[in-house]
Amino acid sequence: MIYGILDNDLYKFSMMQAVISLFPKEIVRYRFINRGKTQFPDGFADRLQNEIKTLSYLTENGRSKEDKEYLLSLNFLSPFFVDYLSNYQFDPEEVTVTQNGGDVDIMIEGYWFRTILWEVPLLAMISETYFEMTGQGYYQLASEKVFGTNREITSSINRDKGTKFKDYNINFADFGTRRRHSLENHRNVVWDLITSAGSNMVGTSNVYLAKENGIKAIGTMAHEWIMFHGAKYGFHEANKLALQNWVNVYGGNLGIALSDTYTTDSFFNSFDTLFAKTFDGVRHDSGDPITFGEKVIKHYKKLGFSDNVIKAKTIVFSDALNFDKVLKIEKVFKGRINTSYGIGTWLTNDIPGVKPLNIVIKMDSVFINSEWVPTVKLSDEPGKYTGDKETIELAKRILKV
């Protein structure tokens, strides 16, 4: 279900290193958000809690000399951090799971540098456990025992996607760890896409699968990085300080900035000439992608960037993509700015008869001066606002959203 420490997304490790460097004493909470209002089967919480306990024993992946050498080859990870990661153990005591009927509540609490690794594998476990318990997407042998996904069908679906990207010469990456159908299917998807899309399959967010398949591990920061700064330093300063702290740790490495934590318009107030030159580009994760892309280009022009400089910048689109959406975006921005596409659920949970879960885990609060201070995310799409309602309204008033 989870292969090991490296079966996680790169941005969790990059943020983890930054947290260890800058915020080693901070304590945080995360909460599970069931956006799709899925009703979970009886016994789900107990089953998930057992799976969580198994994480503390994982040693298969991330511990070996070969794994350490691979992590060190990612030159933005320090030897100290790689050594720490190779000895890291998940602590099940940091996670609480309860169930009331079909509703499941999950909370994670502890030091930020430790609890930061829970989000992605826990979401993957929630998804896989749910589909195993409901039987969705699995076929049966004559013995009537569940065996796995139908490889012949899923391989055809995956290869058809890869071929389309290759035919249109569009680069993309797998961002699908969090809501994958299963580890088995995720492995198969990545392999099918590599063999069908060729060099247009530029990488994966999953570090384990990047290493195993010899492709690039992709990722920088997530919303929690900016959300933490908002809780600790205030909403006006959040984007600026989050970007500056990122540069303090990574210099020019990992240079894709996440723009929509407190809306893109607010982000641009902080994304000045220095940051615009330092960062390679920005990532889109909510709202209309065409509108976003036009805003990005307009902002670069406002800063005095020439067309040639803008063409060298990158927008990573990553919000609920499929091929049709990608093609529409590509037609608008091809030749105007670099584009890349991080695609998640449509790749790793596109199985006949399966409705993927709409689930997330977000930072909920930060322990500051002996009290819990709520964190919020506004995004460019009101339906994706997360956090305490009163604090959301406060952030909107302060930022004039």
Same domain, 136 and 161: no
265 to 28, 151, 215, 271: CA distances (angstroms): 27, 45, 34, 10
Evaluate whether residue 255 is within a structural domain: yes
Q: Choose the final residue of a domain: 348, 366, 383.
A: 348
Same domain, 87 and 168: no
Instruction: Check which CATH number belongs to the domain holding 58 and give it.
Output: 3.20.140.10
| Upper half-sphere CA count for residue 400 (Cβ side, 13 Å) | 4
Same domain, 339 and 238: yes
Evaluate whether residue 245 is within a structural domain: yes
Same domain, 344 and 323: yes
62 vs 234: CA distance, rounded Å: 37
Mean pLDDT of 336-363: 96
142: pLDDT strictly greater than 70: no
Tens digit of each residue's pLDDT (9 = 90 or more) over 27-81: 999 999 999 999 999 999 999 999 999 988 776 666 788 999 999 999 999 999 9
Same domain, 319 and 382: no
DSSP secondary structure string, 321-340?
A: --HHHHHHHHHHHTTTSEEE
CB 205 within 8 A of CB 175: yes
Mean pLDDT of 291-302: 98
302: tokens are: 């406002």
DSSP secondary structure string, 275-310?
A: HHHHSSEEEE-SS-HHHHHHHHHHHHHHTT--HHHH
Tens digit of each residue's pLDDT (9 = 90 or more) over 150-192: 788 899 999 999 999 999 999 999 999 999 999 999 999 999 9
Same domain, 369 and 336: no
Q: Which residue(s) pair with 107 in the sheet?
A: 31, 96
First to last CA, the chain: 41
Evaluate whether residue 253 is within a structural domain: yes
Strand 201-204 relative to strand 216-217, pairing? parallel
Same domain, 186 and 203: yes
pTM of the model: 0.95
pLDDT at 149 (0 to 100): 61
Q: What percent of the chain has pLDDT over 90?
A: 90
125: tokens are: 């476990």
> What letters, b where the CB count within 10 A reaches 16 and e where it falls short, cover 235-274?
bbebbbbbbebbbebbeeebbbbbbbbbbbebbbebbeee
pLDDT at 62 (0 to 100): 65
Tens digit of each residue's pLDDT (9 = 90 or more) over 259-293: 999 999 999 999 999 999 999 999 999 999 999 99
Evaluate whether residue 5 is within a structural domain: no
27 vs 96: CA distance, rounded Å: 16
Same domain, 184 and 328: yes
144: pLDDT strictly greater than 50: no
153 vs 227: CA distance, rounded Å: 41
344 vs 342: CA distance, rounded Å: 7
Evaluate whether residue 4 is within a structural domain: no
140: pLDDT strictly greater than 60: no
| DSSP label of 62 | S
Domain count, the chain: 2
Range of the domain at 395: 10-141+356-399
Cα-Cα-Cα-Cα dihedral sign, residues 104, 110, 113, 114: negative
pLDDT at 95 (0 to 100): 98
Same domain, 82 and 178: no
Evaluate whether residue 276 is within a structural domain: yes
Same domain, 94 and 161: no
Same domain, 333 and 389: no
Q: What percent of the chain has pLDDT over 70?
A: 96
Same domain, 93 and 151: no
Q: Choose the final residue of a domain: 306, 327, 348.
A: 348
